[in-house]
Chain A
Amino acid sequence: MTESDLVSLWLTLKLAFVTTVVLIVLGTPLAWWLSQRSHARERGRMVKLLQNIVEPLVALPIVLPPTVVGFYLLLAFSPNSLPGELWQSATGTTLAFSFYGLVLGSAIYSLPFYVQPLQVAFSSMQRELIEAAATLGASPLDRFFSLIVPLCRRGFFIAICLSFAHTVGEFGIVLMIGGNLPDETRVLSIALFDHVEALDYGRAHVLAGGLLVFSFVTLFLLYAVDRRWQNGTRTT
């Protein structure tokens, strides 16, 4: 592996890590909010309507070509548009072709891979357990960390692994909004593309093979841990 490939590897891991952290912070409340629809008897119609709109929005990146998402993000990041302008006046840099632009794009693109497993886990929580904790004096935040997180640990684990791995494998959005700047936006998938274009198949093999093994090992561990927790937490 050459030095520039190592830089790309480091950049990829950094991007996946930061993106996953962003998703944990923002995606968790979103998944919780979406999961509260089925037994929200006393909720207003407006909330239900909003949930009905947000849920397919979150799922959009699964069906859309990444280039479509990338194209619109590129437009939004342009200093001529409102989000791009706000970012520029706040930080003095442009969002497009920057690392933080990539984080934002990856977070949006990996959102369904984080939110959906978690939403399923939250929805399958027994409401009585949460209510029991409430009557025992646990505040909503306390209930979340003492009860919901441990009982939904499978959901969290799957969500975190999938969003991390998916960000590592991202290509189309990065190409559209990140370009190919060493140390800034040239992640592994882009570097691989460069090597193939330059007909440098030796270096391409190292990256492609590495990503293949990484993805397999991630999924292998995911299923193994999932099987174990499933056996361990059977409730009847």
Chain B
Amino acid sequence: MSLSIQARVVREGGFELNVDVDFPDREVSALFGASGSGKSSILRILAGLDHLPGIHVSFNDTVWQNETIFVPPNQRHIGYVFQHLNLFPHLSVSGNLDYAETRRQSGGGLSRQDVLDILDLSSLLEKLPRQLSGGEQQRVAIARALLSNPDLIVMDEPLGSLDQAAKDRILPYLHRLHRSLEVPIIYVSHALDEILYFADTVFEIAAGKITGTSSVIDFSVSGSHINQPEAAAIVSCRVNSENEQYSLTELQFEDTHLLVSAGQLTIGESVRVKIPARDVSLSRQRNESSIINVIATTIEDIRDPGTGASAVVKLKCGNQFLLALITRKSLQELRFEIGESIFAQIKGVALMTQHD
């Protein structure tokens, strides 16, 4: 599959969108940028919800839009999840799902039962949308998009109107979904934690232009967002062995290893691990400590914003990087320098997902 968009659009008010993107196959591609940067415009163009001149969109050798062709949104087979107001208020949850299922234009895909199981909706079927919480509504909206058996799923800040607690509850569902689907997902968000949790490839967008494309592993440790409090390094590891005595799994990370408390993993498989910057502290000696993951690194970069309480130190370990959020006070007193060898004490390691 290949999905490409070339768009040069000048909107009322002078906003210009100028992008030329090819989205990767079978992956979660995230569009990351501030509000008003043009992320949603790209999705709307992609789905055919805005019909503007000067745009080329093609998907799998099918032209969706060029100078002469415009395929309307109902013929594009895109599962679209909006930020809010997704559900039809006059239909129950079950009626909303039926709406999609009766209009699906091709066989295959996930069955209704699969979708209900993945998103845990079986108990909500008879309810009306207004009787659901925001998080439940978004789960139903995602389920409905899946039941139309789309060739492509796009999500426009699907968690944007939810509070942190609701977001934390729904993220694991998205995760399970990603693993059960074979279609590409394009995910728009301005929230770093969602991108780090969910994306495979990140397209950074600012003022209507794509300013960077990278794997989530590279994205997580470079760019101005590493100074955000929710910054975290995403690293790739291989499962080494299980330590049943302590219920820990040993992961091979470059030439060292990490211990995580994770359940059933297959020895030898590749996993992605998220290490939040605020859970990493730095030490010149290997101290006696309750922290079990202490690894030798070198300081690659120091990001001192010059104000505020904290600075970020980027650490190199083999070919991968970690981030450490430390106070500016420690930075000054301990006089860390680029190139220096240092121990990273890692307090929190979260297992993310299996990947190829």
| Residue positions of A touching B, CB distance < 8 A | 41-42, 126, 128-129, 131-140, 142, 146-147, 150-151, 233-236
Most chain A CB inside 10 Å of its own CB: which residue of B76, B78, B85: B85
Q: Hey, which chain A residues are within 8 Å of B79, CB to CB?
A: 135
When the two chains form their complex, are residues A135 and B47 in contact, meaning their CB atoms are under 8 A apart? yes
29 A–B pairs (Cβ distance < 8 Å), ordered by A: A41-B50, A126-B85, A131-B73, A131-B80, A132-B80, A132-B82, A132-B86, A132-B141, A133-B99, A134-B49, A134-B72, A134-B74, A135-B79, A135-B80, A136-B99, A136-B144, A136-B145, A137-B74, A137-B103, A137-B105, A138-B74, A138-B99, A142-B74, A147-B88, A150-B90, A151-B89, A234-B130, A235-B129, A235-B130
Q: Hey, which chain A residues are within 8 Å of B130, CB to CB?
A: 234-236
When the two chains form their complex, are residues B89 and A235 in contact, meaning their CB atoms are under 8 A apart? yes
Is B148 close to A, CB under 8 A? yes
Q: Measured between alpha carbons, how far is A233 from B89 in the docked complex, in Å?
A: 7
Q: Measured between alpha carbons, how far is A235 from B82 in the docked complex, in Å?
A: 17
Is B267 close to A, CB under 8 A? no
B contacts with A: majority SS? loop
Is B51 close to A, CB under 8 A? yes
Q: Hey, which chain B residues are within 8 Å of A137, CB to CB?
A: 74-75, 77, 100, 103-105, 148
Is B12 close to A, CB under 8 A? yes
Partner of B148 from A126, A136, A140, A146 at Cβ < 8 Å: A136
Q: Measured between alpha carbons, how far is A234 from B144 in the docked complex, in Å?
A: 22
When the two chains form their complex, are residues A128 and B47 in contact, meaning their CB atoms are under 8 A apart? no
Interface residues on B, range: 20 to 34
Q: How far is the CB of A17 from chain B (nearest CB, A)?
A: 28
Q: Hey, which chain B residues are within 8 Å of A129, CB to CB?
A: 85, 88-89
Is B191 close to A, CB under 8 A? no
Which chain B residue has the least Cβ–Cβ distance from A153?
Answer: B90
When the two chains form their complex, are residues B86 and A41 in contact, meaning their CB atoms are under 8 A apart? no
Q: Measured between alpha carbons, how far is A151 from B87 in the docked complex, in Å?
A: 12
Q: How far is the CB of B201 from chain A (nearest CB, A)?
A: 23
Q: Hey, which chain B residues are within 8 Å of A128, CB to CB?
A: 82, 84-86
CB-contacts of B187-212 with A (<8 A): none
